[in-house]
Structure 1
Amino acid sequence: MEKILVTGATGQLGSELKVLSENYSQYEWFFADRTAISLNNIKLLKEQLELIKPTIILNCGAYTAVDKAETETELADVVNHLAVEVLATYAKEHGVKLIHISTDYVFDGTSSTALNEDAVTNPINVYGATKRAGELAAMVVNPDVLIIRTSWVYSRFGNNFVKTMKRLLQERDTISVVNDQIGSPTYAADLAQAMMEIVTAQEWIPGIYNYSNEGEISWYEFVLAIQEITGDSCEVSGIPSSSYPTPAARPAFSLLDKSKIKEVYGVTVPDYKESLRKCLKFKV
């Protein structure tokens, strides 16, 4: 029986894969938290992989504290770059399939059209730079790695934008949300499903793929969509990014073109509102 190792198992995507795993009993599943798989300790990571002996690795673990990464540069680089290189090397040496999750933050945000997998990368923050370094390192040591870039991930699990905004819409009379950063959200349950469609596909076709839900919106419009579903009466106003300064810069435009994953693997990509409704049916 093939063994699937899921890193970052307690995160949003890892948690959704755990739910989904019940539909894939043909695999042995190993859900690894930070103690079972130490992405921040390269030497230990190598030993842990040899113990677990996976035949498929779904790398959902990452250093994702975008603002904190500006000061915790070394830690972000170990987790997002050097650990990914170790996973890719292990996968190469043992004939293991590796799906690695990356980010829209590898782009600088200057595009005005949806970004495909060949678009020029130019990260504008440490998080994006370390994630891009991880992509490059993985592809150098293992050309058979499959990378999925995603954006604005949310879920019923963990802390995320949807949960925070749902709470604020209930607690406050007014909230202000950035309206000049454009992209598309990703419901982690949809991404988990796409990953399993790739894992179970008849042919493994490596490379970089994009995945997010369909739609082109700002964070402000995303909150309006949440409000539309919840029915909360809070007043929501849009503000420019300059009115909400953060330690790390964010790309102003990072909409991902999903044509490749749809064509190569036949993956269905739901509309963002449809997926948002599904998520909000849970008590998030």
Structure 2
Amino acid sequence: MKILVTGRAGQVAQSLAERAGSHKLVFAARPGFDLLDPASIEATIAEVQPDLIISAAAYTAVDQAEDEPELAMAANGEAPGVIGRAAAKVGAPVLHLSTDYVFDGSGERAWAETDPTGPIGIYGKSKLAGEEALASSGAPYAIMRTAWVYSPFGSNFVKTMLRLAETREELNVVADQYGNPTSALDIADALMTVVNRWHDAPEHGANAVYHVAGRGTTNWADFARAIFSESAKRGGPSCTVNGIATADYPTKAIRPANSRLDCTRFHEMFDYTAPKWDSSLRDTIARVG
């Protein structure tokens, strides 16, 4: 299949480049493809004539979004609808990545796709608007929400922790926010699982929302400790982690306290479950440590 992937430098896009197998990937990125320029989106999709689109590009500056709500909404909230309408014209289904931030972060139970959304910040609101715009675009779609993404590529929590440990003996890390650390390589595998299923059975499980995240949950402080433990085993940087409360580390945008995602629906529909998060973490540390 010819697959158009929005974005080129992102963690998922780079992971897809490794995991696409025999499928042909065409990466669309600025300046020729710009989420803020609907005409460029429409022209790119019309020119490429893809069999399927993976909508991976997004505005991801969570704190900055609070100061740039119009920009975040244009990129995350409106562009997916433009992608979907252009995809419908060429007969291409769309796989779209979304986020745990569409929930309000309350409770301690893992969020299911059927739970009510209630984003508490601009970033989450913009991503939810994008889900709704794609769903009403006329293109077959699957929305895949994920969380706490890391990989050997780009900027992420794992690489930040390792960099900071090179010059510090201890770090303060939030210990009261819980979620599923998720390797972008595992997200790529999940996406390709859908691609391969749709190749054989077009639109199997289409027009639905799914959760795809690393198996098992932890908090940021324990995640950091796991990073340093694995790094130390390989002779890499490590330091002491002090768990602190969210209130002691104020940020412009409020983070969800509970980002746990229930991935049962995706497993039942596509027979894919991500590896345990600490297993995938070991693989990432082996590559970047």
Fold shared per TM-score above 0.5? yes
Cα displacement (A) at 1:275: 0.2
Superposed, which structure 2 residues align to 1:1-284 within 5 Å?
2-21=1-20, 23=21, 25=22, 27-142=23-138, 144-201=140-197, 202-203=200-201, 204-206=204-206, 207-231=208-232, 232-283=237-288
CA contact 1:104–1:254 (8 Å) conserved in 2:
yes
Alpha-carbon distance between aligned partners in 2 of 1:106 and 1:68, rounded to the nearest angstrom: 17
Letter matched to residue 241 of structure 1? T
Cα displacement (A) at 1:68: 0.5
Cα displacement (A) at 1:47: 1.8
Partner SS state of residue 128, structure 1: helix
- TM-score norm. by structure 2 comes to 0.94
Letter matched to residue 135 of structure 1? E
Alpha-carbon distance between aligned partners in 1 of 2:283 and 2:195, rounded to the nearest angstrom: 24
Alpha-carbon distance between aligned partners in 2 of 1:279 and 1:44, rounded to the nearest angstrom: 35
CA contact 1:4–1:58 (8 Å) conserved in 2:
yes
CA contact 1:18–1:31 (8 Å) conserved in 2:
no
Letter matched to residue 9 of structure 2? T
How far does the alpha carbon of each residue in 1:137-172 deviate from its partner, in whole angstroms, 9 at most, with x for none?
111223621000000111111011100001112320
Alpha-carbon distance between aligned partners in 2 of 1:180 and 1:15, rounded to the nearest angstrom: 31
Cα displacement (A) at 1:111: 2.5
Alpha-carbon distance between aligned partners in 2 of 1:34 and 1:116, rounded to the nearest angstrom: 34
Alpha-carbon distance between aligned partners in 2 of 1:49 and 1:243, rounded to the nearest angstrom: 46
Pairwise CA RMSD of aligned residues? 1.3
Cα displacement (A) at 1:33: 2.0
Unaligned runs of 5+ in 2: none
Alpha-carbon distance between aligned partners in 2 of 1:154 and 1:177, rounded to the nearest angstrom: 17
Unaligned runs of 5+ in 1: none
Partner SS state of residue 171, structure 1: coil
Alpha-carbon distance between aligned partners in 2 of 1:238 and 1:142, rounded to the nearest angstrom: 47
Alpha-carbon distance between aligned partners in 1 of 2:154 and 2:257, rounded to the nearest angstrom: 25
Alpha-carbon distance between aligned partners in 2 of 1:91 and 1:134, rounded to the nearest angstrom: 15
CA contact 1:210–1:257 (8 Å) conserved in 2:
yes
Cα displacement (A) at 1:51: 1.5
Cα displacement (A) at 1:248: 0.5
CA contact 2:147–2:181 (8 Å) conserved in 1:
yes
How far does the alpha carbon of each residue in 1:230-265 deviate from its partner, in whole angstroms, 9 at most, with x for none?
125522100111111111011110100010111110
State the number of aligned residues.
280
Cα displacement (A) at 1:210: 0.3
Cα displacement (A) at 1:93: 2.7
Letter matched to residue 263 of structure 2? K
- TM-score norm. by structure 1 comes to 0.95
Partner SS state of residue 200, structure 1: helix
Alpha-carbon distance between aligned partners in 1 of 2:238 and 2:162, rounded to the nearest angstrom: 12
How far does the alpha carbon of each residue in 1:196-235 deviate from its partner, in whole angstroms, 9 at most, with x for none?
0110013321110001101111101100110110125522
